[in-house]
Chain A
Amino acid sequence: AQTVTQSQPEMSVQEAETVTLSCTYDTSENNYYLFWYKQPPSRQMILVIRQEAYKQQNATENRFSVNFQKAAKSFSLKISDSQLGDTAMYFCAFSPFLNAGGTSYGKLTFGQGTILTVHP
């Protein structure tokens, strides 16, 4: 079974600065996906960024980038030029590839979440 751990229950940052959210995971799988989801006060789950484990290059989406360390099973999210609209709960999540029996397809295993507050 996979586990995902976010050790920072809360983080804060000043507007325009950079913040990094931490995530570690445990799995015996070799091929999998990792995600960061954002949940603003509206509660909507919004996909921020995705990383395929077989890709060595770190994923980037505008101000959001990841530091993926496969051997260390670490997957941190860096938010550059933080904006007030970035204030939200952030979840790290893991999903395996479709296995032979198909029983794990699509299952997302989430971390506990990190509440990020961006201050003006």
Chain B
Amino acid sequence: EAQVTQNPRYLITVTGKKLTVTCSQNMNHEYMSWYRQDPGLGLRQIYYSMNVEVTDKGDVPEGYKVSRKEKRNFPLILESPSPNQTSLYFCASSSILAGGAYNEQFFGPGTRLTVL
């Protein structure tokens, strides 16, 4: 089954304790992205990747890191989490079509993170 998986689905942690949220897709997609969802703000892009070893900042990258060492995986790293990073996080992926055409983004199930 084609899917995007995220782990963990729920995480409660304390300020300053490094954590990683994993994201994996089995569709051989080039493009992957992380979003955070906050009430009243919708979803905002954190980082994205066009392919292996190619990553770039989205709208709200502060406090986050990513890596893309393999095509299927795109982990989100919080080196020193703070309470303002308490949020719902989504990973998404899509293939890249020529000529600027759009291909549907597939979203993971979300990770609910609470930083105390």
Residues of A within 8 A of B (CB): 4, 6, 9, 31, 33, 42-45, 47, 50, 52, 91, 93, 95, 97-99, 102-103, 105-113
Contacts and interface: CB of A to CB of B under 8 A. Distances in A.
Contact of A106 (B31, B40, B42, B99): B31
Interface residues on B, range: 20 to 34
A107 B58 contact: yes
B74 interface: no
Contact of A105 (B31, B44, B109): B31
Interface of B: 31, 33, 35, 40-45, 48, 50, 56, 58, 88, 90, 92, 94, 96, 99-102, 104-105, 107, 109-110
Contact of A45 (B40, B45, B90, B99): B90
Contacts of A106: 31, 33, 48, 94, 96, 102, 105
